[in-house]
Chains A and B, each alone.
Chain A
Amino acid sequence: MTGSLTIRAALVSLLLLAAFLGLWHLGTMGSGPAADMDPEYAKLMGQTATQGTSAMPGPGAVGAQLWHHLADPFYDRGPNDKGIGIQLAFSIARVFAGYLLAVLVALPLGFLIGMSPLMNRALDPYIQILKPISPLAWMPLALYTIKDSAISAIFVIFICSVWPMLVNTAFGVASVRREWLNVARTLEIPPVKRAFTVILPAAAPTILTGMRISIGIAWLVIVAAEMLVGGTGIGYFVWNEWNNLSITNVITAILLIGLVGMVLDQALARLARLVSYPE
């Protein structure tokens, strides 16, 4: 029964969550005030030694902070105090900009590589060398040549999301079934129409797989890029809060990064289902 399986799975998920939160709570609640201590010495030692409480916040504290952030996500009180919604919006905007640029480059180029064995062979060594480079390694070069940290972050997103899309598009286009192309040939379909009405729909599921991998990587990379670039964005927020030693805010941000990543992935998964076809 799928119905009961869903219910049981949900139950197990909830139990795991409860167990995790319970352990977290136990692990951070501390052991109560320590033995008498000279007040001067206690000041030096900090809370962990004197109160027995951990600097690591418990689930309650994180929950309260999360609620605090979500209650007013879009306030702006100067460069170092912006609502978490604004920070996430900056990150998402950068990801979209770099990602769209990558789509614009990767899809046509992937088509070319997929359709032309010559270009496939000629460009293959470059792709093989460029693909494994960590996108952050490009950052200094980007900062030096572009001379704008915001655009450099977008460039880093572009360079990391272009490869999976390029490789998948080329593969999808090159492996369109021979007989479908033969049908198009016997119907005298002109090349441009053939690309859009036969090759594109045939390769679409493979292309979308590449796009889904890319959006995942882009979201991974934006956090690291913003830690380097600074200024705005969820990555900068995490780094800033680490410098403030606000572990509560760091954990809150981690949760939200995961949530946004999931939403982006599911959106692409839904798009992939739209263009997939059973054979």
Chain B
Amino acid sequence: MSGPLISIEGIARRYGGPAIFEDLWLGIDRGEFVCVIGHSGCGKTTVLNILAGLDKPSDGVVVVDGKAIDGPALDRAVIFQGHALFPWLTVLGNVAYAVGARHPDWSRAKIRAHALDYIRLVGLTGAEGKRPSELSGGMKQRVGIARALSLEPKMLLMDEPFSALDALTRGTLQDEVRRLCHGTGQTVFMITHDVDEAIYLADRIVLMTNGPGALIAETVVNPLPRDRDRLNVHRHPDYYALRNHLIDFLVTRSRSFKDEIAGLAWDRRHPPAVRPSATPFVHP
């Protein structure tokens, strides 16, 4: 199939006053893992909600697989920041609820078996009869991941899924997400505050400037090999070039970017793609 799986085409969002962002364009290819980095208030959660169909853009459209989206759909699964499990259902109940919604024609036994498969995939076998209140934060988020993946969605949307977890648990879950998403060619759109998380997980990192009037400053192509490893990722020659580039952006450029492009003919449809490297990069 030609063209990107998801195409964000000129979307804007206004709440009365000035636009949080406007005329935003971005394409995401099938199987790509995209992270969005930006400060609070740049509208990245709004972009995600629009992709999920939970919010509507004031202008523009989002096209998924050739069709403009109109509201939430089962082919776009969301992993929420606060896990959002139903506390009155067990782990199995929560995952099976999603599976049942996806496949209304399946028998109870088939739904159960499918849900158990995904509970095993996130390493929670044995805990399927527990309630969310009996689980640790990391385990709850694993259930959230199992619930989203059990839908076998075209696209996975994650809104800072690990920000409420401690560092150790976060690391383990990042490994899990890498394993699960890269292994199956899952297309992922993820919001994060964490530069290292983006470096470890993303194929491409989208940098958003501060709002209001936020825009995509550039998309950074991750120069690290796709089969990177958490323990050795910082030894890669391009690692620091990438990390410094991202941090420079967050610290200074996200604020001053509008001055940076003042007077230039800025093409919002095609923000520059940058590939930070230890050796100076020469455009072909």
Contacts and interface: CB of A to CB of B under 8 A. Distances in A.
A185 B86 CA distance: 14
B100 to A, nearest CB: 9
Contacts of A183: 78, 80, 84, 86
A187 B131 CA distance: 20
B131 A186 contact: no
B189 to A, nearest CB: 14
B98 interface: yes
Given A179-B82, A278-B133, A186 B54 contact: yes
B101 A187 contact: yes
Nearest to A182: B54
Nearest to A179: B84
A186 B53 contact: yes
Contacts of B87: 277-279
A82 B87 CA distance: 50
Given A182-B80, A189-B101, A201-B86, A279 B54 contact: no
A177 B81 CA distance: 14
Interface string A187-221: 11100000001100110100000000000000000
Interface string B69-86: 001111011101010101
A275 B77 CA distance: 29
B160 to A, nearest CB: 13
A180 interface: yes
Nearest to A279: B87
Contacts of A180: 84, 86
A204 B71 CA distance: 28
Contacts of B78: 182-183, 186
Contacts of A186: 52-54, 72-74, 76-78
A133 to B, nearest CB: 36
B54 to A, nearest CB: 6
Contacts of B72: 185-186, 188
Interface string B52-75: 111000000000000000011110
B97 interface: yes
Nearest to B54: A182
B74 to A, nearest CB: 5
Given A187-B151, A275-B88, 17 more contacts: A179-B80, A182-B52, A182-B54, A182-B78, A183-B86, A185-B72, A186-B74, A186-B78, A187-B98, A187-B101, A187-B102, A188-B72, A188-B74, A202-B88, A204-B88, A278-B87, A279-B133
Interface of B: 52-54, 71-74, 76-78, 80, 82, 84, 86-88, 97-98, 101-102, 131-133, 151
- For the complex of A and B, 10 pairs with smallest distance between CB atoms: A179-B84, A187-B101, A278-B133, A277-B88, A277-B87, A186-B72, A201-B88, A185-B72, A186-B78, A279-B87
